[in-house]
Amino acid sequence: MTNSDVIIIGSGISALQLARHLQGHLNVMIITKNKMKDSNSYLAQGGIAAPIGTGDKVGLHARDTITAGCGHQLESVVKDAIRDGKRIVAELIREGAPFDRNDDGELSLGMEGAHSMARILHSGGDQTGKLMIDYLMEALNDKVRLVQGEMAFELLTNEKGRCTGVRTKCEDGSVRVHMATHVVLATGGAGAIYSISSNAPVVTGDGLALAFRAGAVLADMEFIQFHPTLLTVDQHGVGLVSEAVRGEGALLLNDAGERIMEGVHSQLELAPRHIVAEKINSERLAGREVFLDITPVKAFETKFPSITRMCEQHGISLAMGKIPVSPGCHFTMGGVVTDEYGRTSVKGLYAIGEVACTGLHGANRLASNSLLEGLVYGERLASYLKGVSEPGLPVEEIRYPRPACETPDIRFDPQELKERMMMDVGIIRSGHGLTRHMKWLKSQKLSFQANLERLSQKEIQSYLMWVVSTLITQAAFSRTESRGAHIRSDFPEENNVHWYKRTIGLLKDNHQLKVVHDEQHQIEIYA
C-alpha cells in the first residue's frame, strides 16, 4: 500500500498541468494504465484557443463557445474559463512554451470551425498535443511519482463516503492499493468505445465508470462529438485530419466535385462540427465519397507534418490534392459533474479535463477548447488543493467490509460493443436503435456493482466499457430532441419549450441507473 497527498489517474494535459503546479507543495502520484504519453492530449493535432489576438475579446470567444454548444451551458462558467485561459496561455508564452510564430516573430494564430476570429495557437503545425505534453512533462520534478501499466478499477471510500484511494490491476494480474487525501480523475473521455474514432485506443471511459460506481453524479452523457474529418481508407477511419486544414482553406467536395457545405451553413466548411459531420454522413449514406480538397492550402506538408506522414503511410498521394474523409467519434462533452475547481459530488474525489462535465462545452465543444480546458482546470484545482492541504496529512483507511458482489462473466467481444455503439448510438440516433442497443447491453446480465478484483486488465476494460455504453445510451434515449452533437432522427428539432439543461445519471441504493432532468444545473458539490 502506498500513501500520497494527491493521486492523479490519467496522464493528459490536465493531469500534467495539475501535477506541475502541485509538485512544490504536495506529494503527487500519477497513475496511468499504459504509458505516460498514451493519451488524447498527446495525439491532439489542433491547437489551443485563446482570445489573445488584436481585436479579440473574452466575450467574443465565449459567444462562439456558447453558439457551438447550442446554449447548453452556463454563461458565467464559459466566460470565467476563457478569461483564466487567456491568462494561462499568456503565461505559457512568457515561459517560452513552443508555440508557432510567423516569419516576423509574431504568434501564428489559426482559424478553425465555429470561431469568429483567428485565435488558435499551434505547436509544430499539427503536433500541438505532442509538444505541449513534452513541455509539461519536462517541468515535473521528483516529487511527482509516475506509475505506468496499472489500471485503476475501483475508487475506495471510507464509512463517511469520502474517497480515500484507488485499487489498481497490474499487468501481471496483481492488485495494488494506493491511498491519498485527494483523488483526481483525469482519464479523458470515452471515444474509443466507438469503432470509428480519433481517440487513443486506451481512452475507453474508465474514469466515467469508476466515478459512477463510486456514487458520483454524471451528466450530459448523450453529447458525443463526432469529428467531421477522419482520413478514410477502405471505408474505415484511420486517423484525424485536423480542423485546422479547413481553417487554412481546404474545401469539402463530394465525388461529383460539388462543395457539400454550400447552402448548409453560412460558415461553410467552418460550421460547427456537428453540422459538418452530419452533412458528410448524409453524403456517404447516399453513396457518395467525400474529400478534403487541399489545393488551396499553401505549403501543406510543412504546416501539417503529422497528417502528411499519416497519408503517406496509408498510400494517399497528396499530389492529387484530395484526402478522403468521413466522421468519427472525437470528444465526450458530458462526464462527472464538477464545480469550478473540479470538485465532484463525492468528498475527496475530483475530475478535470474531458472526464469532467463543467458546463463549458454544452451540447457540442468548440474546436481547440479542450486543451485550454485542461490547462485551466488543472491550474484551478492545484490552487484549491494547495489552499486546503498540508503535506503529510494522514490518510483514512477503509473502515467497512466490501459488499460480497459476484465476479462478472465477460462474454462479449469489445469490438462488437464498439460497432454496435457506432450503429445505434452514433452520429444519428433513433428510439428504435437506442432500444435495440439497450436490449443488447441488458442481455450481458452484468451488474453496476460487480466485483472486478479477479478480472484481467482486458476484462476490466471491457466491463467498464459496458458501464459507459449504458450511461450514454440511456441518456440519449431520455433526451427526446436534437441538440448539438445529439441528433435524433425521430425528434429532429430542438425542443426549446420543454428544454431541460442536463440529463443526470446516478447510481441509486438498489444498484440501478436513475436518469433525472435538471433545469437549473443544481448539483450538490462537496468541499
Would you please indicate which residues are annotated as catalytic (active-site) residues? 273
Q: Which residue has the cell 521528483?
A: 142
| Angle 411-10-39 from CA coordinates, rounded to 5° | 80
**DSSP secondary structure letter of residue 170:** -
Q: At 479, is the secondary structure helix, strand, or coil?
A: coil
Number of other CB atoms surrounding residue 478 within 10 Å: 17
With b for 16 or more beta-carbon neighbours within 10 A and e for fewer, the 384-419 pattern comes to: bbeeebeeeeebbeeeeeeeeeeebebebebeebbe
Distance CA 4, CA 28 (A): 6
With a CB cutoff of 8 Å and minimum separation 6, the contacts of 96 are none
Nearest CA to 250 out of 199, 313, 307, 196 is that of 307
Please count the residues of the chain.
527
With a CB cutoff of 8 Å and minimum separation 6, the contacts of 239 are 198, 230, 231, 307, 310, 314
Nearest CA to 177 out of 159, 155, 160, 158 is that of 155
Write the single-letter amino acid at 453: E
